[in-house]
Amino acid sequence: MKQSYSIIDIETTGGRSGSNKITEIAIINIDDGIITDTYSTLINPERNIPWAITQLTGIDNDMVADAPKFYEVAKKIVELTKDRIFVAHNVFFDYNFIKYEFSELGYQYKRAKLCTVRLARKHLPGHKSYSLGKICADLQIPIEGRHRALGDATATTKLFKMILEKEDNPPLIEEDSKKIALPAKLERAEYENLPTKPGVYFFYDEAGVLLYIGKSKEIKKRVSSHFRPDIKRSRDLELKNRIAKVTYTETGNELAALLLESHEIKTNRPYYNRALKRRKFPKHMELKATLSGEKVIHIFHGGELEKSTYAFSNKKNAERKRDFFYLQFIGVGLDHPEFNQRKDKLIEKVGIDQFNLLLEKTFFNKVPQKRDFSIELAGRNNKETCIINIKDYKPYEISYYDLENQENVETIKIKGTQDNADLIRNYMARHGLKIKPSNDLSPNNQIDDDIDYEYDFS
């Protein structure tokens, strides 16, 4: 039987698909062992590429400045991989990044998958390591351009061909999830009809009592995780056994789902939603002057959100962001043994006032200067846009507009809570969003390019 494959490799700004972006992609198509297409391009991630990533890949900000953005190459990726099996070394890394990029455009990207790491372990046993560099070195497969998309994709193609020669039949594709065991009281048709789109889902018991509220970028996939046959925690088993009905609200994008979930939980307070009844982002960060007049980045617990404050889910994330600022400012993090020496040398060179101004510039560089603004994101379908309106940093409504008629389709009011304000700031920091001024919120308005988020807080 003829099999068509797309061997794919990407380079990114970091290791997590939800908070990083693609900087390069390569696709090599093979049919019956013969290469039929080769495609590669740099991609402008619309955010800073960390120094450590540049050291690994050689890709820096200047190289991608004039490269196409992901949405400009999205159609090409769809066409090249259509009706093909998606193959990569550690396939879920590459696949999830690409899938997430498409989801941000409002498109569901879905392909069958194969992982050459797993296949190599099965058909080429006996190697100490199955990382691409080491397995290729063992098998004398040259890699011209390690940690560059085309170089790694070419090496993966040669490895994959070697694996195919070991098999009589086409290899089995990877499954997205484990088997599920539906609750006894839930109709299978109700589960099967769940969408694979962003939104909020609701679990009810037989009496119609709301048990639990959750959100996901893929509703059906997240709901299925509640129905795993290997659930062991008693509280999770108890919830599963009580579920008799599942409903959902599509939101079109992850941020709207996060806000709606938070609003619904605080409004309805379901018994099984303990986590979101607490502050989701209890750690904050601001600039604070010491007795000597020198300003420092200060992390504290709780407090109201001010212009000078960033919000974090835990102390570790706050400390990582603090070190990120200091790394930009004086070249090392707070825990580095040369931190005080470098800081004091800079103060001696420029003076305390200029030192404070430089630190303020680094710290406030991407903080929105307007307290009232809106964010435009993908709608629930390709004919809609979603606008989240924020006043005094607190989101208060999610509006959907018909792109063709420029008419408001639906508006969902949400509570302007401190948690939702923290959530907005956290999400904006992680995803590189642009905002629109609050005095003109219709979808056709010009985006305010002076307020731009192009950094990674992960």
Instruction: Report residue 191 as tokens.
Output: 């589960």
Spatial strand order in the sheet of 384-391: 407-413, 394-402, 384-391, 373-378, 436-437
Place of tokens 């899938």: 99
Q: Are strands 4-12 and 85-88 parallel, antiparallel or unpaired?
A: parallel
Instruction: Report residue 436 as tokens.
Output: 């629109």
Distance separating alpha carbons of residues 72 and 450, to the nearest angstrom: 23
In total, the chain counts a number of residues equal to 458
147 carries an active-site annotation:
yes
The single residue of 123, 127, 147, 263 carrying the catalytic annotation is: 147
Spatial strand order in the sheet of 210-216: 210-216, 199-204, 245-250
Distance separating alpha carbons of residues 19 and 67, to the nearest angstrom: 20
Q: What is the pLDDT along the chain (458 residues), one digit of tens a residue?
A: 467 999 999 999 988 777 789 999 999 999 988 999 999 999 999 999 999 899 999 999 999 999 999 999 999 999 999 999 999 999 999 999 999 999 888 888 989 899 999 999 988 999 999 999 999 999 999 999 889 999 999 999 999 999 988 866 666 665 554 567 889 999 988 998 898 889 999 999 999 999 999 999 899 989 999 998 888 889 999 999 999 999 999 999 999 999 999 999 989 999 998 765 455 667 778 888 898 899 998 888 865 545 445 777 778 888 888 888 888 888 888 888 889 999 899 999 999 999 999 888 888 776 666 678 889 999 998 889 999 999 887 899 999 999 888 899 999 999 887 778 877 877 776 666 666 665 444 444 333 333 232 222 22
Phi and psi at residue 150, in whole multiples of 5°? Answer: -70, -40
Calculate ∠ Cα 82-86-88, nearest 5°.
150
Place of tokens 């820096």: 60
CB 269 within 8 A of CB 415: no
Measured CA distances, 84 to 3, 264, 291 (Å): 8, 40, 64
DSSP code of residue 230: T
Q: Locate all alpha helices (DSSP H) within 269-308, ordered by sequence.
A: none
pTM assigned to the model: 0.53
Judge residue 440's burial from the number of C-beta atoms within 10 Å of its C-beta, 0-12 exposed, 13-18 middle, 19 or more buried.
exposed
How far separated are the first and last CA of the chain, in Å rounded?
A: 44
Contacts of 366 (CB under 8 A, 6+ apart): 429, 452, 453, 454, 455
Return the bridge partners of 340, or none. Answer: none
Judge residue 396's burial from the number of C-beta atoms within 10 Å of its C-beta, 0-12 exposed, 13-18 middle, 19 or more buried.
middle
- DSSP state string for 320-347: HHHHHHHHHHHSS-TTSTTHHHHHHHHH
Cα 255 → chain centroid: 11
Query: For the chain, what is the radius of gyration of the CA atoms?
Result: 24
Q: Is 311 helix (H, G, I), strand (E, B) or coil?
A: strand
* φ/ψ bin of 230: left (φ > 0), alpha (ψ from -120 to 50), beta (otherwise): alpha
Q: What pLDDT is recorded for position 304?
A: 55
Distance separating alpha carbons of residues 281 and 314, to the nearest angstrom: 7
Distance separating alpha carbons of residues 255 and 216, to the nearest angstrom: 10
Q: Are strands 22-31 and 4-12 parallel, antiparallel or unpaired?
A: antiparallel
CB 319 within 8 A of CB 333: no
Phi and psi at residue 262, in whole multiples of 5°? Answer: -60, -45
